[in-house]
């Protein structure tokens, strides 16, 4: 399951949203704004996002600090293009956010920054397309590096021995690599190849190039059963 | 004459243990007729048994016996293929491997009648790479016959290669066999419309798994030339064709493939005895389609994995090479042309026992121990 997280920053009271995997918090039904409280509603240009400011008459002008807060909130909420989101700025300065009619978080200035669930249930096609595009970007970069002479120093590229990443069998790692006399991960063999046939410098495990190479290699074996330790 | 299906170890042992009598026997084989052959082969059988070499049929010297019965005399040529040289000096790993192949071939005694170079001398078709290759191949004692590969061709569409080595397709006759050398790596223009530079075109073609390129083909002009060339040749004359890509359709994804293979095979079909020796696939690879036997050549630079599908029933796969050993899965080899013009194909693997695929083995429906058992990678 995938969630869109909204983070509310304490100091500036600005609300920033990031697309990320997040811990799900409980969802409650929430309390709607009381009938007797005056509210001023500001809509975003897409007519899907609105900020409801409590304690301000519907036609009253917002003071500059509140106007800035509303603008910050709306610009953050605009990242959720397809969602209908309401942010309520309460009399007590707490901000309540509702998506598609459901409350999903409240935040009080000074409290820990919450991680919020936005997409209830199944991810949307659009979300899936975005995640796939992000993954494809990494795999594509790995594909480029795998076929490039820039990983090593002698002109040799990974794909020269491993077209379509064949004969890399990433699904068999970790395994006891007999030639190295120890259990290794795929990245250890990638580094071995970089240092030997490619006569290059090994990459750190968290090096963006290593991450891309591993992603490309694994992507070529999608659907293949894990057979850790297989020789 | 020791080259049947003996392992290298067996051959070394047999030589090490031979007595002066055996020595005379071996020498007497040089001019051996059928009757004499039978007698000496029986003696060899005894020698083999005495040396505990099993199986003893390794010594039966089929080639010599057949040759004595008429038809084309047996001879041997050697091959070196797919050196993929970078212009990075003689110390580069691929240059050292190519030099090793030259030394191997020069050590053959007797020397082969000629050496076929199977294509992909250079990695990126650069003049410096081709020049380095030419310099290394000049070290060969036997005459060299050149064939072009896609890595030699797509920087300048063969301009430099042809200026150095001559025509990309030609034929010649040798000891009763008609030889044809083809340029089978012709690709339909995929670059002009996309605006690729010469370097980009070369880089794309040099990527085995780069799907932006076109499939290999011999093409109509060369097919016409081939038909005309063969029109002069008697249909009983043994034919040996050299092509860089296999002249059949194995795996399109890696251009283990010739797109007009059926049309080329149709031109070869009327001939009684046809063998195709090809490069490009860097592995033990055997096939038979009708009367045509196909044999792949080893690369000196690196071994390719087997294609995920399409492997012929006639191929006995080699177990995947050890990446920690640069020489494993690589090598060069020889081709013994036996009586009648069929060939026994020898893979001289640098880090393993040699493997010989005989014409006789190819008479069956598949090779003993062969048959594709699913992806090897």
Residues of A in contact with B207 (CB under 8 A): 147, 159
Those residues whose C-beta lies under 8 Å from the C-beta of residue B262, and which sit 6 or more positions away, are none
CA distance B25 to B186: 51
Residues of B in contact with A156 (CB under 8 A): 93
Of B366 and A182, the structure prediction assigns the larger pLDDT to A182
Domains parsed from chain A with CATH numbers: 4-107 (no CATH), 125-219 (1.10.760.10)
Contact B377 A197 (CB under 8 A): no
Of A202 and B375, the structure prediction assigns the larger pLDDT to A202
What is the pLDDT at residue A103? Answer: 72
What is the pLDDT at residue B48? Answer: 46
Of A156, A167, A189, the CB nearest to B320: A167
**Contact status, residue B273 vs residue B291, Cβ threshold 8 Å:** yes
Residues of A in contact with B326 (CB under 8 A): 197
**Contact status, residue A65 vs residue A74, Cβ threshold 8 Å:** no
Q: Is domain B75-363 annotated with CATH 3.60.21.10?
A: yes
Residues A210-215, mean pLDDT to the nearest whole number: 98
Contact A164 B253 (CB under 8 A): yes
Q: What are phi and psi of B172, to 5 degrees?
A: -155, 160
pLDDT in tens, B88-140: 999 999 999 999 999 999 999 999 999 999 999 999 999 999 999 999 999 99
What is the pLDDT at residue A102? Answer: 72
Domain boundaries, chain B: 8-68, 75-363
- The shortest C-alpha distance from A14 to chain B (Å) reads 48
Residues A207-224, mean pLDDT to the nearest whole number: 97
Token pair for A128: 């899936």
**Contact status, residue B314 vs residue B288, Cβ threshold 8 Å:** yes
Q: Cβ of B310: how many Cβ atoms within 10 Å?
A: 16
Counted across chains A and B, CB pairs separated by less than 8 A come out at 56
Listing DSSP states for A63-81 in one string gives PHHHHHHHHHHHHHHTTST
Q: Is B147 exposed, middle or buried (0-12, 13-18, 19+ CB in 10 A)?
A: buried
Q: What is the 3-state secondary structure (H, E, C) of chain B?
A: CCCCCCCHHHHHHHHHCCCHHHHHHHHHHHHCCHHHHHHHHHHHHHHHHHCCCCCHHHHCCHHHHHHHCCCCCCEEEEEECCCCECCCCCCCHHHHHHHHHHHHHHCCCCCCCCEEECCCCECCCCHHHHHHHHHHHCCCCCCEEECCCHHHHCCCCCHHHHHHHCCCCEEEEECCEEEEECCCCEECCCCCCCCCCHHHHHHHHHCCCCCCCCCEECCHHHHHHHHHHHHCCCCCCCEEEEECCCCCCCEHHHCECCCCHHHHHHHHCCCCCEEEEECCCCCCCEEEECCEEEEECCCCCCCCCCCCCCCCCCCCCCCCCCCCCCCCCCEEEEEEECHHHCEEEEEEECCCCCEEECCCHHHCCCCCCCCCCCCCC
A193 touches chain B (CB under 8 A): yes
CA distance B79 to B323: 24
**Contact status, residue A168 vs residue A215, Cβ threshold 8 Å:** no
Nearest CA in chain A to B326: A197
**Contact status, residue A142 vs residue A187, Cβ threshold 8 Å:** no
Contact A166 B377 (CB under 8 A): yes
SS3 of A104, please?
strand
- The shortest C-alpha distance from A178 to chain B (Å) reads 10
Of A161, A166, A168, the CB nearest to B302: A161
A18: pLDDT confidence band, cut at 50, 70 and 90?
A: very low
What is the pLDDT at residue B317? Answer: 87
Contact A161 B304 (CB under 8 A): yes
Contact B209 A163 (CB under 8 A): yes
A96: pLDDT confidence band, cut at 50, 70 and 90?
A: confident
ipTM: 0.74
Place of tokens 């920054």: A113
Contact B323 A193 (CB under 8 A): yes
Contact B210 A154 (CB under 8 A): no
What is the pLDDT at residue B342? Answer: 96
Of B88, B123, B254, the CB nearest to A163: B254
Nearest CA in chain A to B303: A161
Q: What are phi and psi of A128, to 5 degrees?
A: -60, -40
Nearest to B308, CA basis, from B375, B211, B250: B375
% of chain B surpassing 70 pLDDT: 78
B9: pLDDT confidence band, cut at 50, 70 and 90?
A: low
- The shortest C-alpha distance from A162 to chain B (Å) reads 7
pLDDT in tens, B53-66: 434 333 333 344 34
CA distance B361 to B314: 9
A178 touches chain B (CB under 8 A): no
Of B214 and B51, the structure prediction assigns the larger pLDDT to B214
What is the pLDDT at residue B42? Answer: 52
A172 touches chain B (CB under 8 A): no
Nearest CA in chain B to A166: B377
Distances in Å between the Cα of A189 and the Cα atoms of A167, A170, A179 are 12, 10, 11
Q: What are phi and psi of B292, to 5 degrees?
A: -100, 125
**Contact status, residue B345 vs residue B335, Cβ threshold 8 Å:** yes
Contact B377 A163 (CB under 8 A): no
What is the pLDDT at residue A80? Answer: 73
What is the pLDDT at residue A100? Answer: 72
Q: Are strands A39-43 and A49-54 parallel, antiparallel or unpaired?
A: antiparallel
A196 touches chain B (CB under 8 A): yes
- The shortest C-alpha distance from A169 to chain B (Å) reads 7
Least-confidence region, from A9-23, A69-83, A164-178, B256-270: A9-23
Contact B305 A155 (CB under 8 A): no
B88 touches chain A (CB under 8 A): yes
Contact A155 B88 (CB under 8 A): yes
Q: Which among A140, A146, A148, A155 is the top mutation candidate for probing chain B, defined by the most B β-carbons within 10 Å of its own β-carbon?
A: A155
**Contact status, residue B257 vs residue B211, Cβ threshold 8 Å:** no
Of A155, A160, A166, the CB nearest to B308: A166
B345: pLDDT confidence band, cut at 50, 70 and 90?
A: very high
Least-confidence region, from A1-10, B24-33, B267-276: A1-10
Residues of A in contact with B209 (CB under 8 A): 147, 159, 163-164
Contact A164 B303 (CB under 8 A): no
pLDDT in tens, B186-202: 999 999 999 999 999 99
- Average pLDDT score over chain B: 86
A140 touches chain B (CB under 8 A): no
Nearest CA in chain B to A198: B93
Residues of B in contact with A227 (CB under 8 A): none
What is the pLDDT at residue B55? Answer: 40
CA distance A93 to A180: 61
Q: Cβ of A83: how many Cβ atoms within 10 Å?
A: 15
Token pair for A168: 């890399």
Residues A40-69, mean pLDDT to the nearest whole number: 91
Whether the per-residue pLDDT at B203 is higher than 80: the answer is yes
What is the pLDDT at residue A7? Answer: 38
- The shortest C-alpha distance from A185 to chain B (Å) reads 16
Whether the per-residue pLDDT at B184 is higher than 90: the answer is yes
Q: Cβ of B59: how many Cβ atoms within 10 Å?
A: 24
Of B359 and A115, the structure prediction assigns the larger pLDDT to B359
């Amino acid at each position: 399951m995938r969630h869109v997280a909204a983070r509310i920053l304490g100091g500036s009271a600005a609300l920033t949203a990031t697309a990320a995997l997040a811990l799900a918090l409980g969802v409650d039904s929430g309390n709607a704004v009381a009938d007797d409280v005056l509210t001023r509603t500001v809509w975003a240009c897409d007519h899907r996002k609105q900020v409801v400011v409590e304690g301000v008459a519907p036609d009253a002008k917002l003071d500059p600090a509140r106007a800035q807060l509303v603008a910050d909130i709306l610009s953050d909420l605009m990242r959720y293009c397809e969602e209908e989101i309401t942010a309520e700025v309460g009399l007590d300065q707490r901000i309540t956010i509702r998506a598609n009619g459901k409350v999903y978080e409240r935040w009080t200035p000074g409290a820990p920054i919450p991680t919020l669930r936005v997409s209830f249930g199944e991810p949307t096609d659009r979300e899936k397309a975005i995640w796939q595009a992000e993954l494809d970007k990494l795999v594509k970069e790995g594909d480029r590096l795998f076929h490039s002479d820039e990983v090593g120093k002698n002109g040799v590229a990974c794909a020269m021995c491993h077209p379509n990443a064949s004969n890399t069998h990433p699904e068999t790692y970790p395994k006891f690599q007999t030639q190295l006399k120890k259990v290794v991960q795929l990245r250890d063999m990638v580094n071995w190849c970089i240092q030997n046939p490619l006569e290059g410098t090994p990459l750190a495990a968290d090096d963006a190039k290593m991450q891309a190479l591993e992603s490309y290699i694994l992507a070529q074996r999608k659907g293949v059963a894990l057979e850790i330790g297989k020789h | 004459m020791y080259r049947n299906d003996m392992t290298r170890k067996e051959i070394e042992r047999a030589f090490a243990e031979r007595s002066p009598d055996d020595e005379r026997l071996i020498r007497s084989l040089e001019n051996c007729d059928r009757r004499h052959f039978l007698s000496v082969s029986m003696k060899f059988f005894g020698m083999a048994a005495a040396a505990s070499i099993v199986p003893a049929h390794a010594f039966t010297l089929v080639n010599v016996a057949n040759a004595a019965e008429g038809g084309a005399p047996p001879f041997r040529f050697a091959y070196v293929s797919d050196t993929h040289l970078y212009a990075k000096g003689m110390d580069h790993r691929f240059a050292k491997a190519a030099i090793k192949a030259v030394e191997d071939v020069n050590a053959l005694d007797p020397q082969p009648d000629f050496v076929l170079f199977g294509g992909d001398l250079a990695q990126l078709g650069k003049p410096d790479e081709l020049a380095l290759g030419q310099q290394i191949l000049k070290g060969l004692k036997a005459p060299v016959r050149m064939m072009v590969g896609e890595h030699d061709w797509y920087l300048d569409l063969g301009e430099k290669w042809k200026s150095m080595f001559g025509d990309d397709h030609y034929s010649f006759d040798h000891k009763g066999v008609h030889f044809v050398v083809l340029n089978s790596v012709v690709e339909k223009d995929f670059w002009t419309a996309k605006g690729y530079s010469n370097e980009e075109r070369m880089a794309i073609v040099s990527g085995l798994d780069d799907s932006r390129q076109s499939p290999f083909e011999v093409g109509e002009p060369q097919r016409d030339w081939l038909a005309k060339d063969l029109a002069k040749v008697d249909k009983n004359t043994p034919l040996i064709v050299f092509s860089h890509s296999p002249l059949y359709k194995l795996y399109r994804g890696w251009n283990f493939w010739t797109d007009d293979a059926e049309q080329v095979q149709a031109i070869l079909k009327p001939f009684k005895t046809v063998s195709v020796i090809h490069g490009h696939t860097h592995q033990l690879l055997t096939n038979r389609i009708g009367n045509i036997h196909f044999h792949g050549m080893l690369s000196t630079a690196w071994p390719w994995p087997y294609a995920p599908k399409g492997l012929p029933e006639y191929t006995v796969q080699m177990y995947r090479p050890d990446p920690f050993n640069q020489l494993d899965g690589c090598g060069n080899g020889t081709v013994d042309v036996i009586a009648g013009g069929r060939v026994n194909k020898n893979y001289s693997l640098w880090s393993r026992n040699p493997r010989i695929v005989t014409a006789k083995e190819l008479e069956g429906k598949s090779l003993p121990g062969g048959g594709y058992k699913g992806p090897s990678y």
